[in-house]
């Protein structure tokens, strides 16, 4: 680090207190002297058995309170979050100048879907980074190799822009989901892309590519199958309990449907949906089941420890529950056929 003046020293001390990553120092020093005066607010949460803490400047409390509305049901005290089976922290702060790619960043993979760009890569041998663009707002997420302590940097002034609320929420949600998936991968836990319903005390997960009709199928269950409730419509958490039971838990991440339930249930079955001209259902082969689950979970599969953790958990899921292939129309008959088959 270059020689610092008095103000920079104060800023450096603040970054240490906030756990802002040293890689971000060049983006901060000499640009946001206001940060020295900031006080942080820290919120603690637990989703399934994973605890996490989010800290942010107190001046953006009003915006963050609204943004974190989906997380209220998962809020807990610091001791509960830190003593969970797995835990991580995220510190949110603003940059004082235009965000740019950190020096030494090496791209590993990029994902560009529905106007959201995420470029993941490494920063030397000890850090990881995610360069994100949600609509027209850029941000940088920097974390260690174990994903335990991370910093998220967003452009200065975004919290005062009403038009930026959607981009801020998408950035915070995406960052927390990324960290959740990476941090928990080695602990028999997977963040799924699924619409999940509950009936008679058991949960049923519907898998499929975006646009397949997962939410539509769940909606058909809700309307036509008595006693059905929606648990989560986009990103539930599946984990293996210590005694071996496969469980699914709601999460603060439910896509376009506001369904944020801090509830968990044993898994009754998992169903892969596929659009077809007629309704039919059958059990999947082991290979089909593996592909269905693998393509429905979050995580950096090219990192050995994450890939190994996912593989072990997927094997336990395949061995511990029933998996089906439902070729279907978006109609009542598909929901009735599915329910009658997998509820047996």
214 and 104 inside one domain: no
173 and 78 inside one domain: yes
178 and 193 inside one domain: no
The vertex-146 CA angle with 144 and 152, nearest 5°, equals 40
Q: 207 is in which domain, residue-wise?
A: 189-342
* Structural domains in the chain (count): 2
Do the Cβ atoms of 131 and 140 come closer than 8 Å?
A: yes
Tokens 């005390």, residue located: 201
In a domain, 41, yes or no: yes
Do the Cβ atoms of 209 and 273 come closer than 8 Å?
A: no
- Side-chain-side CA neighbours of residue 244 (13 Å): 6
150 and 205 inside one domain: no
Reported as type and span, the H/E element at residue 184 is helix 165-184
Please tell me the distance from the alpha carbon of residue 288 to that of residue 116, in angstroms, as a whole number: 29
In a domain, 35, yes or no: yes
Do the Cβ atoms of 31 and 95 come closer than 8 Å?
A: yes
Q: Is 213 helix (H, G, I), strand (E, B) or coil?
A: coil
217 and 281 inside one domain: yes
The tokens describing 132, both together, are 């994100």
Reported as type and span, the H/E element at residue 221 is helix 214-224
334 and 218 inside one domain: yes
Per-residue model confidence (pLDDT) at position 38: 57
In a domain, 220, yes or no: yes
24 and 169 inside one domain: yes
Do the Cβ atoms of 24 and 14 come closer than 8 Å?
A: no
Which 8-state DSSP code applies to residue 259?
A: -
In a domain, 101, yes or no: yes
Q: Final residue of a domain: which of 184, 205, 230?
A: 184
18 and 100 inside one domain: yes
162 and 229 inside one domain: no
Tokens 């609509």, residue located: 135
Per-residue model confidence (pLDDT) at position 115: 75
Q: Final residue of a domain: which of 155, 184, 213?
A: 184
Per-residue model confidence (pLDDT) at position 33: 44
Please tell me the distance from the alpha carbon of residue 206 to that of residue 77, in angstroms, as a whole number: 33
126 and 174 inside one domain: yes
102 and 227 inside one domain: no
- pLDDT (tens, 9 = 90+) of the chain, 344 residues, equals 344 444 444 444 444 444 444 445 544 444 444 444 458 999 999 999 999 999 999 999 999 999 999 999 999 999 999 999 899 999 999 987 778 888 899 999 988 877 789 999 999 899 999 999 987 899 999 999 999 999 999 999 999 998 899 999 999 999 999 999 999 999 999 999 999 999 999 999 999 998 899 999 999 999 999 999 999 999 999 999 999 999 999 999 999 999 999 999 999 999 999 999 999 999 999 999 999 999 999 877 778 889 999 999 999 999 999 999 999 999 999 999 999 999 87
CATH number at 329 reads 3.90.228.20
Q: Final residue of a domain: which of 184, 214, 235?
A: 184
Please tell me the distance from the alpha carbon of residue 251 to that of residue 268, in angstroms, as a whole number: 19
Q: Which runs of E-coded beta strand occur in 2-126?
A: 40-47, 50-57, 86-94, 105-113, 116-123
In a domain, 111, yes or no: yes
In a domain, 1, yes or no: no
128 and 168 inside one domain: yes
Per-residue model confidence (pLDDT) at position 202: 98
The tokens describing 147, both together, are 């994903």
């Amino acid at each position: 680090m270059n020689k610092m003046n008095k103000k920079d020293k104060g800023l450096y001390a603040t970054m240490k207190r906030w756990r802002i990553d040293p890689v971000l120092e060049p983006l901060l020093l000499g640009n946001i002297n206001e940060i020295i005066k900031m006080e942080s607010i820290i919120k603690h949460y637990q989703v399934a058995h994973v605890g996490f803490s989010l800290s942010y400047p107190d001046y953006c409390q009003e915006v963050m309170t609204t943004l974190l509305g989906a997380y209220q049901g998962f809020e807990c005290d610091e001791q509960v979050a830190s003593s969970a089976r797995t835990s991580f922290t995220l510190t949110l702060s603003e940059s004082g100048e235009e965000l740019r790619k950190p020096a030494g960043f090496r791209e590993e993979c990029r994902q560009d879907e529905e106007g959201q760009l995420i470029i993941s890569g490494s920063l030397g041998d000890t850090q990881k980074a995610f360069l994100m663009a949600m609509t027209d707002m850029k941000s940088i997420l920097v974390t260690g190799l174990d994903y335990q302590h991370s910093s998220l940097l967003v452009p200065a002034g975004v919290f005062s822009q009403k038009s930026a609320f959607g981009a801020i929420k998408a950035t915070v949600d995406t960052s927390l989901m990324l960290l959740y998936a990476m941090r928990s991968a080695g602990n028999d836990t997977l963040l799924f892309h699924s619409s999940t319903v509950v009936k008679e005390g058991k949960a049923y997960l519907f898998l499929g590519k975006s646009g397949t009709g997962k939410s539509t199928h769940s909606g058909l269950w809700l309307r036509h199958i008595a006693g059905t409730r929606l648990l989560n419509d986009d990103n539930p958490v599946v984990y293996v309990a210590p005694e071996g039971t496969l469980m699914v838990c709601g999460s603060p991440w439910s896509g376009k449907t506001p369904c944020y339930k801090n509830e968990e249930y044993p898994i009754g079955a998992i169903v892969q949906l596929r659009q077809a001209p007629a309704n039919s259902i059958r059990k999947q082969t082991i290979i089909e089941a593996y592909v269905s689950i693998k393509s429905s979970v979050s995580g950096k599969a090219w990192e050995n420890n994450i890939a190994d953790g996912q593989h072990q958990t997927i094997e336990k899921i395949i061995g511990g529950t029933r998996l089906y292939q439902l070729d279907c129309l978006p109609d009542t008959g598909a929901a009735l056929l599915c329910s009658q088959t997998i509820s047996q």
